[in-house]
Amino acid sequence: MPGRLFDDNMYRFESPQPSYWEATAGRSHFDDAPLDDHESCDVAIIGGGYTGLSAALHLARDYHIDVRVLEAGHTGWGASGRNGGFCCMGGTGVHRQDLVRMCGLDKVREYYASQVDAVELVRDLAADEGIEYQSYGSAEVEVAHSPKAFERLQKDFELLTNKLGLQAEIVSADECRERYYDSTELYGALITRPAFGLHPLRYCLGLAGAANRHGARLHSHSQVIEWSKADDGQHRLSTTGGTLTAHKVIFACNGFIQEQLRSEFFGRTIPVISAIIVTRPLTEDELAAHRWSTEHPAINSRRILNYFRVLPDNRFLFGGRGDVRGTHSGEQQTYMHLEQKLRQVWPHWGHIDIDYRWHGLICMTATMCPSIGQLDDDDSIFFGFGYHGNGVNSATWVGKQLSDWIGKGREPVGLPAIIRGLSRKYPFPALRMSYLKFGIFVSRQLDRYG
Ligand SMILES: Cc1cc2nc3c(=O)[nH]c(=O)nc-3n(C[C@H](O)[C@H](O)[C@H](O)COP(=O)(O)OP(=O)(O)OC[C@H]3O[C@@H](n4cnc5c(N)ncnc54)[C@H](O)[C@@H]3O)c2cc1C
Integer angstrom CA distances of residue 119 from 80, 93, 139, 373: 15, 18, 11, 20
**CA of 396 relative to ligand 1 center, distance in Å:** 11
Q: Residue 410's CB: how many other CB atoms inside 10 A?
A: 9
* Ligand 1 pocket: which of 19, 75, 80 to mutate (most atoms within 8 A of CB): 80
- Average pLDDT of 67-75? 98
Biggest alpha carbon–alpha carbon distance for the chain:
68
The pLDDT of residue 3 is above 80: no
Minimal CA–CA distance to 115: which of 107, 77, 408? 107
3-state secondary structure 127-164: HHHCCCCCCECCCEEEECCCHHHHHHHHHHHHHHHHHC
**pLDDT over 70 for what percent of the chain?**
100
What pLDDT is stored for residue 450 in this prediction?
Answer: 80
Whether 255 is covered by a domain: the verdict is yes
Residue 210 banded pLDDT, cuts 50, 70, 90: very high
**How are beta strands 243-251 and 378-385 bridged, if at all?**
parallel
**C-alpha distance from residue 449 to each of 16, 94, 129, 156, 302 (Å):** 39, 18, 47, 19, 10
Do 239 and 71 contact (CB within 8 A), yes or no?
Answer: no
Three-state SS string over 55-97 comes to HHHHHHHHHCCCEEEECCCCCCCCHHHCCCCEECCCCCCCCHH
- Ligand 1 atom at minimum distance from 78 CA: 49
Mean pLDDT, all residues of the chain = 97
Measure the CA–CA gap between 67 and 115, rounded to whole angstroms.
26
Does a structural domain hold residue 449? no
- Tell me: cis bond preceding 194? Omega within 30 of 0 counts: yes
- Ligand 1 centroid to residue 76 C-alpha, Å: 8
Q: Among 253, 274, 388, name the best residue to mutate to test ligand 1's pocket (greatest count of ligand atoms within 8 A of Cβ).
A: 253
2 in any annotated domain = no
- CA 119 – ligand 1 centroid, Å: 17
Q: Which atom of ligand 1 is nearest to the CA of 13?
A: 47
Ligand 1: list residues with CB < 6 Å: 13, 46-52, 70-73, 77-80, 82-86, 223-224, 252-256, 258, 274-276, 307, 319, 359-362, 385, 387, 389-392, 395
Helix or strand or coil: residue 416?
A: coil
| CA distance between the termini of the chain | 40
Q: Is a pLDDT exceeding 80 seen at residue 412?
A: yes
CA of residue 47 to ligand 1 center, whole Å: 9
Within-domain flag for 41: yes
For ligand 1, the distance from its centroid to the CA atom of residue 240, given in whole angstroms, is 22
Cα 2 to Cα 261: distance, rounded to the nearest angstrom: 10
**Atom in ligand 1 nearest the alpha carbon of residue 385:** 26
> 63 in a domain, yes or no?
yes
The 10s digit of each residue's pLDDT in 4-53 is 899 999 999 999 999 999 999 998 889 999 999 999 999 999 999 999 99
27 or 399, higher pLDDT:
399
DSSP class of residue 420 equals B
Nearest to 48 by CA among 166, 218, 203: 218
Element (H, E) at 218: strand 217-219
Cβ burial, residue 14 (10 Å; 0-12/13-18/19+): exposed
Q: How far, in Å, from the CA of 276 to the mean position of ligand 1?
A: 14
Nearest alpha carbon, ligand 1 atom 49:
78
Task: Report the half-sphere exposure of 174 (CA within 13 A, side-chain side).
Answer: 0
Whether residue 3 lies inside any domain: the answer is: no
What are phi and psi for residue 219, nearest 5 degrees? -130, 105
pLDDT band at 449 (very low <50, low <70, confident <90, very high): confident
Please state the φ and ψ torsions of residue 390, each to the nearest 5 degrees.
Answer: -135, 65
SS3 266: coil
Read off the DSSP letter of residue 371. Answer: E
* Interatomic CA distance for residues 437 and 5, integer angstroms: 13
Among 10, 80, 33, which residue's Cα sits nearest to residue 52?
Answer: 80
Q: Residue 371 falls within a domain, yes or no?
A: yes
Q: What is the pLDDT of residue 1?
A: 62
450 occurs within a structural domain: no
Domain that holds residue 71: 8-444
Angstrom CA distances, 427 to 37, 183, 205, 276, stand at: 41, 42, 38, 31
Amino acid at site 408: K
Q: CATH number of the domain at 428, please.
A: 3.50.50.60
Q: Cα separation of 30 and 205, whole Å?
A: 9
Number of domain units in the chain: 1
pLDDT the model gives residue 2: 63
Q: What is the pTM of this model?
A: 0.98
Measured from the Cα of 70, ligand 1's closest atom is 43
A 10 A CB-CB count for 232 gives 7
Identify which of 89, 98, 148, 45 has the alpha carbon closest to the alpha carbon of residue 402: 45
* Residue among 385, 361, 387 at smallest CA distance from 273: 361
Compute the distance from residue 360 Cα to the ligand 1 centre, in Å. 8
Centre of ligand 1 to C-alpha 415, Å, is 22
The conformational region for residue 310 under phi > 0 = left, psi -120 to 50 = alpha, else beta, is beta
The answer, yes or no, to whether residue 247 has pLDDT greater than 80, is yes
**AA identity, residue 277:** I
Pairing of strands 235-238, 371-375: unpaired
pLDDT of residue 29: 83
pLDDT on residue 406: 98
